[in-house]
């Protein structure tokens, strides 16, 4: 692959993009996608087209955010991560700036084709992304909160599929989860973040508890939900415990990577809770894709 093209690909972090897709699928399941399609024949194929538009909108917004994050981190990466495409010289700072901005604008543009509400949410999400990239990530509490809000808005973007949002409060789940991952990542370069890991473990537990509590009919759905939640708990806690025991940058990075990719399992669990195991399995199929891409491209 051409060096410049590979550099731009690395900036967009392809392994993370399926997690953005999973958010939209989970949000659409919470909005009642399957139920409405099967009961309202007047919809025809419109929800599928709009769902595809929202998926690509989310992908572009996410990719634009991580590209611009590298743009804002250029001077830091020259010291801490010289292998990244911009400090390495594979991509120019100006080129990356245009690329990231174009991706954000494309994401907003596509969302307005779905409905006005989706477009407004995408605009707010883009602003929150820029706030994180340029300012809030420097702060101990504000940075993780901002990052969590970005992921929460992405789930809400999926919920906006039909132009209304009835369960926006469920966005607290990705907010808490991403807050936890961002806390863990604070020790990715130098290690020594055991306190952050403890807090992250507690936030993870809250996320699991909330999912179980909001499942509409846990008595009949627990059999379907259990395998998904079991996989989720294993994937997030196994590397987290290892990072606590041996608090090295390498183990912390593994905990962060596993946490990021496990967003797909979290979203699959939400899909099971609201739409059944079949829809959850569709979301879960994005996980192998992320793991394959993670072997080629950096996640963090």
What are the sequence ranges of the domains in the chain?
Answer: 3-294
pLDDT category at 10 given cuts 50, 70, 90 is: very high
Residue 132 has pLDDT above 80, yes or no: yes
How much is the pLDDT for 18? 98
Q: Which two tokens stand for residue 252?
A: 């912390």
**Most confident segment among 38-42, 78-82, 102-106, 166-170:** 102-106
Q: Which two tokens stand for residue 7?
A: 């550099």
How much is the pLDDT for 2? 84
pLDDT tens-digit profile of 206-256? 999 999 888 866 566 778 899 999 999 999 999 999 999 999 889 999 999
| Residue 143 CB coordination number (10 Å) | 19
Residue 190 has pLDDT above 70, yes or no: no
Q: Of 73-82, 178-187, 215-224, 266-275, where does mean pLDDT reach its minimum?
A: 215-224
How much is the pLDDT for 40? 55
pLDDT tens-digit profile of 69-128? 999 999 999 998 899 999 999 999 999 999 999 999 999 999 999 999 999 999 999 999
Question: pTM score, two decimals?
Answer: 0.94
pLDDT category at 12 given cuts 50, 70, 90 is: very high
């Amino acid at each position: 692959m051409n060096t410049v093209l590979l550099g731009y690909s690395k900036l967009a972090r392809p392994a993370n993009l399926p997690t953005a897709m999973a958010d939209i699928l989970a949000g659409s399941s919470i909005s009642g996608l399957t139920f409405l399609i099967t009961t309202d024949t007047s919809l025809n194929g419109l929800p599928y087209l709009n769902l595809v538009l929202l998926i690509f909108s989310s992908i572009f917004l996410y990719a634009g955010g991580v590209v611009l994050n590298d743009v804002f981190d250029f001077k830091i990466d020259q010291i801490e991560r010289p292998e990244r495409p911009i400090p390495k010289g594979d991509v120019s700072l100006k080129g990356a700036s245009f690329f990231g901005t174009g991706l954000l604008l494309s994401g907003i543009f596509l969302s307005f084709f779905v409905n006005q509400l989706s477009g407004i949410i995408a605009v707010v999400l883009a602003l929150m992304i820029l706030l994180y990239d340029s300012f809030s990530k420097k702060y101990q509490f504000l940075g993780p909160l901002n990052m969590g809000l970005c992921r929460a808005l992405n789930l809400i973007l999926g919920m906006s599929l039909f132009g209304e949002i009835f369960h926006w409060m469920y966005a607290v789940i990705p907010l808490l989860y991403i807050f936890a991952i961002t806390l863990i990542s604070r020790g990715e370069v130098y290690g020594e973040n055991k306190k952050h890991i403890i807090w992250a473990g507690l936030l993870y537990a809250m996320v699991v508890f909330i999912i179980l509590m909001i499942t509409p009919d846990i008595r009949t759905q627990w059999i379907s939900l259990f395998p998904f939640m079991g996989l989720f708990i294993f994937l997030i806690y196994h590397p987290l415990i290892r990072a606590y025991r041996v608090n090295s940058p390498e183990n912390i990075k593994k905990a962060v990577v596993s946490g990021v990719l496990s967003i797909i399992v979290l979203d699959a669990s939400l899909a099971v809770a609201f739409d059944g195991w079949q829809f959850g399995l569709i979301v879960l199929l994005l996980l192998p894709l992320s793991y394959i891409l993670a072997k080629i491209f950096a996640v963090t």
